[in-house]
Amino acid sequence: MRKISLTGIKPTGSLHIGNYFGAIKPALELTKEYDARYFIADYHALNTMKDPKELNATIRHVAAGWLAAGLDPEKVIFYRQSAIPEIFELTAMLMAFTAKGLMNRAHAYKAAVQENGEKGDDTDAGINMGLYTYPVLMAADIIIFDSDVVPVGKDQVQHIEMAQDIAQSVNANYGKQVLKIPQPAVQEDFAVVPGMDGRKMSKSYGNTIPLFAPEKTLQKTIMRIVTNSQSVEEPKNPDESQIFQLYKLFTQSGEQDAFAKRYRAGGMGWGDAKEELFRVVNRELSPIRERYDAIMADIPALDKILEQGAERARPIAAATVKRFRKAAGID
């Protein structure tokens, strides 16, 4: 039997290059070797997205993004989290095995508490229970499909470790393997994609290069990448430049070596470097953008794909819940 790879993306904003290289591409690569279940984590998004129109549109945007990037819905079970009620039943069961202290240590929650502290607000200001218990729902997402590996960016590894902890407490309690223990799969090469300002590319920093922006917008965005004040003549160090870090994602060693040479030789200004980056980014993203536009032009067909995925996913999810309920004496 092939092993199972599972991952989800929260529809909380426009997909960017960090999502593409850190999540979508490595996950699609794994579909060659694994049976994959990939999904839109729309109940996770509800924690922060309270505008129904926006959430509705972002769900379709992310779903179309997966398909445009090459997800084959015949091969991959592709669905919306919200279409699988068994996930929420499993979440309730896992709650009983999750130490409150474990949730206190979650990075996202700790960061929110710290931010409140810095602003002088109440520590719990703006933190809902969905955010606080986020790792339990995520554990359920993973565990319900007996996942072996979970491709994610580095920032998500803690959540997978929490899923391991929670599943282990269940197994330890019943003295047998009721739930499978998942492993994170981090693509080390491009584990953290830098943003326009050199920090991690993230919606929350507003430093993203969007995946499906029209060509002109893409070019304008790339031209706004932050650089230092080195003059055109000065030789430059490619390893200290986020333009070069981004370039590496879109090219092989031949082009990389040639570009690094231009850096070191001097005579290449930042404007030229950005033009060269735009050329290779646009080369890779153009066909994906075209597929995305075509998918977004037929939303009912997109929804149908997601519904068919959910129909395939539900019996698998139901079997896990049944197994757990039996072990727990609730059968």
Residue 7 binds ligand TRP (CB under 6 A)? yes
- Helix (H) or strand (E) holding 150, with range, is strand 149-151
Question: How many CA atoms does the CB half-sphere of 116 hold within 13 Å?
Answer: 13
Q: Is 119 a catalytic residue?
A: yes
Least distance between ligand ADP and beta carbon 304 (Å): 25
Two tokens, residue 119: 């602003």
Catalytic residue among 200, 216, 274, 304: 200
Q: Are 21 and 27 in contact (CB under 8 A)?
A: no
Amino acid 73 reads P
157 or 328, CB closer to ligand TRP? 157
Contacts to ligand ADP by CB under 6 A: 9-10, 12, 18-19, 22-23, 152-153, 155-156, 192-193, 200-204
Asked if residue 228 lies in contact with residue 269, where contact means CB atoms within 8 angstroms, the answer is: no
Q: What is the number of the residue whose Cβ is closest to ligand ADP? A: 22
Of the two residues 10 and 274, which places its CB atom closer to ligand TRP in the complex? 10
The least distance separating ligand ADP from the CB of residue 191, rounded to whole angstroms, comes to 6
The footprint of ligand TRP on residues 39-58 (CB under 6 A) is: 41, 44
* Of 32, 53, 119, 176, catalytic: 119
252 backbone dihedrals φ, ψ, rounded to 5°? -100, 180
- Least separation in angstroms between residue 10's CB and ligand ADP is 5
Catalytic, 200? Answer yes
CB 331 within 8 A of CB 322: yes
**Dihedral angle at the C-alpha atoms of 45, 293, 284, 268, nearest 10 degrees?**
-90
Q: How far is the CB of 161 from ligand ADP (least distance, A)?
A: 14
**Contact residues for 319 (Cβ-Cβ < 8 A; gap 6+):** none
Tokens found for residue 240: 């200290």
Of 62 and 305, the one with the shorter C-beta distance to ligand TRP is: 62
Taking the C-alpha atoms of residue 83 and residue 107, their distance in angstroms, rounded to an integer, is: 28
Q: Write down the least CB distance from residue 226 to ligand ADP, Å.
A: 15
Residue from 142, 170, 249, 306 in contact with ligand TRP (CB under 6 A): 142
Residue at 93: amino acid letter: M
Catalytic residues, which ones? 119, 200, 203
Q: List contacts with ligand TRP (CB under 6 A).
A: 6-10, 41, 44, 138, 141-142, 150, 152, 156, 159
